[in-house]
A and B are shown apart, each in its own frame.
Chain A
Amino acid sequence: MSNAVRQRHSLMFRPRSYTAFAVTPQPPIVDWLSDLDASLVRSESFFAGHHVALDLSAVNLSSNAIGQLVSNLEERNVRVLGIEGVDPARWQPGLPPVLRSDRVPRIVESPRPTEPDAPTHTPDPLPPPKQKPASLMIEEPVRSGQSVVFMEGDITIVGSVGSGAEIVAGGSIHVYGALRGRALAGATGNARARIFCHRVEAELLAIDSYYRTADEIDDSVRCRSAQAWLEGEQLQISTMN
């Protein structure tokens, strides 16, 4: 009698991509960290719940210095998912894994300082990155049940967005038509994103997780051309022209 062979489960591997903030420290690190602290004071939850990748292409750090920087960030509640822009030979156990990205590095703007005299030094300019389109252009109506997601920047729609459709952008949303569905701008935590549309009949407007449902949109702006933006924690809507 042969032994029953254990039935093996078929293993499932699926490629999956996630959106992460790539944070690019500039030398000198000490100054960069204090700038980071300043912007975290302004927007405490800026990194909350987000994946962060540490792009070290602008600095030249030893393995120990990388470890130090990672723990400095962790003290600030910034959890580093992986590091990139570093020679894999510098990697040592204990450090986050080295990520390889096919993309050219792009800087994510942190919230801008409100006081004009804040920056005391100018960071060294990065080598000019090759420009990838940071906006998505859609030239037909977005129909009910369709969902357009573009975390890398703005979405422009030349046409209407149907009731039951959904537009999610990392940047701003521009609709040259009636907006009858849901629009979620600044979905990567960009509070400066805005929503513009020719005719607002939206089911939901959201910027950086602050939202208003159709019920909360004032009748005076309804069915008119309007923009929505964030003022503190308040989503504001006003008509245009």
Chain B
Amino acid sequence: MAQVLVVTSGKGGVGKTTSTAALGAALAHDGAKVVVIDFDVGLRNLDLVLGAERRVVFDLINVINGVAKLPQALIRDKRLETLYLLPASQTRDKDALTEDGVARIIDELREKFDWIICDSPAGIERGAALAMRYADSAVIVTNPEVSSVRDSDRIIGLLDSKTAKAERGERIDKHVLITRYHSSRAARGEMLSVDDVLEILSTPLLGIIPESQEVLRASNVGSPVTLNNPLSAPARAYFDAARRLKGEHVAMVVPSESRGILNKLFSRKAA
């Protein structure tokens, strides 16, 4: 049974695209057939994060308009043969998305894939609304700070009322993914704690991704962090989150950067 998953947040810059790429690659790594769809029409990024920007010919809007067939627009990842990207159009805007067109594409993808991951644009307008429209479950990406948490709360309200599943009277599965988490800053009270975030959102936790240079480094070379450095702290956190998405029970820990002895020596010297 195909699962349609939307990665959303309301607020921009919290890590939706990074998380889409990292989770998609982690799921495909275990052999599942995964397609990631960029719904950020006009401001596409997922192609860059996946390192596929030089192979885009047709895009989501072309398929909606009937200019291209779906298989022509799907780009297969060079590293993982079960990971595909359906890119957004950069020259159009969100008005080019139609509800019927999106429904048709999702239905067609359901036949061929195990996971269909929709990377939502920021905001609550057309792009975000259509990205979540046909989802079975949702990952709400949240940074541990008040504005991000309030926007996530707003998005959860929309997931519970404006999705096709909610309109049929069913519940959409929702998971909170906390990104850019800094355990020492949270301990000093400079950030909301995980408990604060979960208390406000009253939604189950999918994972905690620590703040790390690795995330930026991976984006810059066009690779999901889970492929670029699978042993790094954020990659391990994303692998755990992906296993929880599949229904496995994985103990919740915040992976930290493992420091070698040399590192420790240097940091002591510097101190």
Contact = CB atoms under 8 A, between A and B. Distances in A.
B157 interface: yes
A143 interface: yes
A25 interface: no
A144 B202 contact: no
Interface stretch (B87-95, B114-122, B146-154): B146-154
A128 to B, nearest CB: 36
Interface stretch (A4-12, A98-106, A155-163, A214-222): A155-163
A180 interface: yes
Interface string A5-22: 000000000000000000
Interface in B145-171: 146, 150-151, 153-154, 156-158, 160
Contacts of A163: 146, 150, 153, 200
A143 B200 contact: no
Nearest to A180: B200
A146 B156 CA distance: 11
Contact of A162 (B124, B153, B160): B153
B200 A160 contact: yes
Contacts of B153: 143-144, 162-164
A85 interface: no
B159 to A, nearest CB: 9
Nearest to A141: B202
A116 B61 CA distance: 74
A143 B151 CA distance: 10
Contacts of B151: 144
Nearest to B124: A145
Contacts of A140: 160
A146 B200 contact: no
Contact of A146 (B150, B157, B202): B157
A197 to B, nearest CB: 15
Interface string A156-179: 000110111100000000000010
Interface-centre pick from B124, B153, B156 (highest chain A CB count, 10 A): B153
A164 B200 contact: no
Contacts of A142: 157
A143 B146 CA distance: 14
A141 B203 CA distance: 10
A178 B153 CA distance: 14
Nearest to A145: B154
Contacts of B146: 163
Interface-centre pick from A140, A143, A145, A146 (highest chain B CB count, 10 A): A143
Interface string A128-145: 000000000000111111
Interface of A: 140-146, 159-160, 162-165, 178, 180
5 contacts: A142-B157, A144-B151, A162-B154, A162-B157, A163-B153
Given A143-B156, A160-B200, A163-B150, 10 more contacts: A141-B202, A142-B157, A143-B153, A144-B151, A144-B153, A144-B157, A145-B154, A145-B157, A159-B202, A180-B200
